[in-house]
Amino acid sequence: MAKMKYLMAAAIVTMATASCTDLDVDVKSKLTQYPTESEIALEGKMADAYYAFREQLGNNYNRYQTFSSDEATGLSFDGDYYDGAENINPTLHTFNASDKPLNWWSDVAGGITRCNKLINELAEQDNATTRRYIANLRAVRAFYHFILMDSYGDVPILDKIFDDNEAIERKPRKDVAEFIEKELKECLTDLSTASDASTYGKPNKWMAEALLVKLYMNWAVYTCGDVADYDPSTTANTKLNDAVAYCDDIILSGLFNLSDNYRKKFLYDNGAQIKDFIYAMPYDCVSAQGMLYGRFRTFRKIDQGSPTGYYNGLMKKSCAGICAMNPEFSDLFTLKGDERNKCVLMGKVFIHDAITGEETSTPYMYKGEQLEFTKTITLKSGGEAQLNAGATPYGWRQGYRSIKFYPNPNEFAEHDRYQSNDVPIFRYADILLEKAEAILRGADATNGDTPQSLFNQIRAYVNAPLLDHTPSLKEILDERGRELFDENWRRNDMIRFGTFESEYGFHRKGFAYANFDKRRRVFPVPTSVMEENTNWKQNAGYQDK
């Protein structure tokens, strides 16, 4: 996120601990009405609710979503970054309730509690301003419920403040989905229709509608009862036309487009100017910390290479280097001319331009040799149980690496590897692909759009070859992989398309530790949460965890 964003009159509100407050100034006439002290305090409270998910989205949630999909393998290096198998377990679908990264539940539930407290405070007044704030809070609360439901299946509906000794019950996933739908539809009319710096990173009408689209696209998954019974070929989705309707509302608003270069919209100076972003999480390496995607995807010993780190800035600290792209997934990035191919380091590594992220002709050297990432991921002999590639130059270069969220090399080095790249949650490109998928699955076509025409809008803006036929569902899933990788939707997509239990990376038949139980489509409830709610039963398939 560009530093200039914090100098705008309508700057992004960050968390109270981040010391950056959105004044949300309204112009009443020719004079600016400055916010009162109480309004500033309220904005700080709203920020606490809006950004409760920031730290988890920037690290743990991203790791678990990425490794449990076909995108990447979580490696270790002779015990280094083994960390109790917290990266190996999602890779092999051996999820464990005690895995530390899994516990985003607490932060998300805490965000819901903040929303509920503020809703209660604001409900004491009834005017346009408080109604807008309450609508914002209800939309964020619905989003948090979505994250919990998508992750863990049956979860509580937390629509009030519970007494300390009051038992909280988990509700069927179907009920939670219906609650989310109801909340979003009821608050739409009071949400802002603007999409600019004043609403960036905050809920507005378009965020709520994009969330409804995501909910409806997965409706059959969320309402089928036993998650293991879902089958995309036989489980009917009754909400596909509803999904298309909200896609159309977003498309016809004229507020969003694909005018931004693919690589540039994920750089460290991205923000409200990106017309593809419907809803994003703002980050800053100083005042809104938490974004660590680069740390896990960057070469383990980048601080020891020469002449500089391959981000073209002096790297003073090593990185984890454990996120190795699966070879099957890397095959997606081979379309001729596709701009997205540049987001993956394949083979020999060169220094990249610090400003644009573009590759230069200068080799990146490590120990006197040009660093070369391998497509095939080879484990150390006997290293299967820990996905151990070995703590050697050979082990550290296993697997291609993503540089999609290209960091500012100087900030990366100076601020403990925190990045200023904002992370999109809902994008216009996703809406186009979702509409194409919905029509292909049986929704009514609208506004002259076809799956092929929508699909080719994506291909055209990244300079990839256009399709001369109606895309298959597999082609749509593949395109979603190319377009949305590293953005936390791949596991969700694979479950919906029925490929979550397929073979990829070390999640393959014959690999002794890989798990293919369909009940793993939901994660176990974290141990700490289970200990606080002794009346709950663990998700099926995890009873002994």
CA angle (1, 427, 464) in 5-degree steps: 100
- What is the predicted pLDDT for the residue at 307? 76
Residue where the block lists tokens 């309204």: 26
Confirm if 370 and 489 have CB atoms less than 8 A apart: no
Which residue stretches of 218-340 are H helix?
Answer: 219-222, 240-252, 293-297, 327-330
- Please tell me the distance from the alpha carbon of residue 386 to that of residue 512, in angstroms, as a whole number: 12
- CA 520 → CA 76, 96, 105, 229, distances in Å? 23, 11, 17, 12
- What is the predicted pLDDT for the residue at 37? 56
User: What is the maximum alpha-carbon separation in the chain?
Assistant: 73
For the CA atoms of 166, 15, 41, 137, what is the dihedral angle to 10 degrees? -50
Q: How far is CA 503 from the centre of its chain?
A: 23
- Please tell me the distance from the alpha carbon of residue 539 to that of residue 522, in angstroms, as a whole number: 8
CB atoms closer than 10 angstroms to residue 384: 15
- Following DSSP, what letter does each residue of 308-323 receive, concatenated? S-TTSS---S-----E
User: Coil, helix or strand for 219?
Assistant: helix
Torsion sign across C-alpha atoms 126, 131, 132, 138: positive
Rg (Cα) of the chain, in Å, rounded?
23
Phi-psi region of 449 (alpha: psi -120 to 50; beta: other; left: phi over 0): beta
Confirm if 172 and 207 have CB atoms less than 8 A apart: no
User: What's the predicted TM-score (pTM) here?
Assistant: 0.93
In the structure encoding, which two tokens stand for residue 410, read together?
């100087």
- Please tell me the distance from the alpha carbon of residue 270 to that of residue 260, in angstroms, as a whole number: 10
User: Coil, helix or strand for 188?
Assistant: helix
Which residue stretches of 51-98 are H helix?
Answer: 54-57, 60-68, 88-92
- Please tell me the distance from the alpha carbon of residue 427 to that of residue 366, in angstroms, as a whole number: 38
pLDDT, tens only, 155-208: 999 999 999 888 999 999 999 999 999 999 999 999 999 999 999 999 999 999
Tell me how long the chain is. Answer: 545
Q: How far is CA 321 from the centre of its chain?
A: 19
- Please tell me the distance from the alpha carbon of residue 333 to that of residue 187, in angstroms, as a whole number: 40
- Please tell me the distance from the alpha carbon of residue 98 to that of residue 96, in angstroms, as a whole number: 5
- What is the predicted pLDDT for the residue at 114? 97
- Please tell me the distance from the alpha carbon of residue 433 to that of residue 476, in angstroms, as a whole number: 7
Residue where the block lists tokens 């289970």: 530
pLDDT, tens only, 77-92: 999 999 999 999 999 9
CB atoms closer than 10 angstroms to residue 389: 27
In the structure encoding, which two tokens stand for residue 476, read together?
């749509």
- CA 264 → CA 122, 249, 421, distances in Å? 40, 26, 11
User: Coil, helix or strand for 430?
Assistant: helix
Confirm if 523 and 95 have CB atoms less than 8 A apart: yes
- Nearest Cα residue to 133 out of 191, 185, 80: 191
- The residue type found at 166 is E
Residue where the block lists tokens 């999409």: 195
User: Coil, helix or strand for 80?
Assistant: strand
- What is the predicted pLDDT for the residue at 15? 36
User: Coil, helix or strand for 534?
Assistant: coil
pLDDT, tens only, 90-142: 999 999 999 999 999 999 999 999 999 999 999 998 899 899 999 999 999 99
State which residues of the chain have pLDDT below 70.
Answer: 1-37, 544-545
- Nearest Cα residue to 18 out of 272, 291, 379: 291
- Nearest Cα residue to 262 out of 418, 403, 62: 403
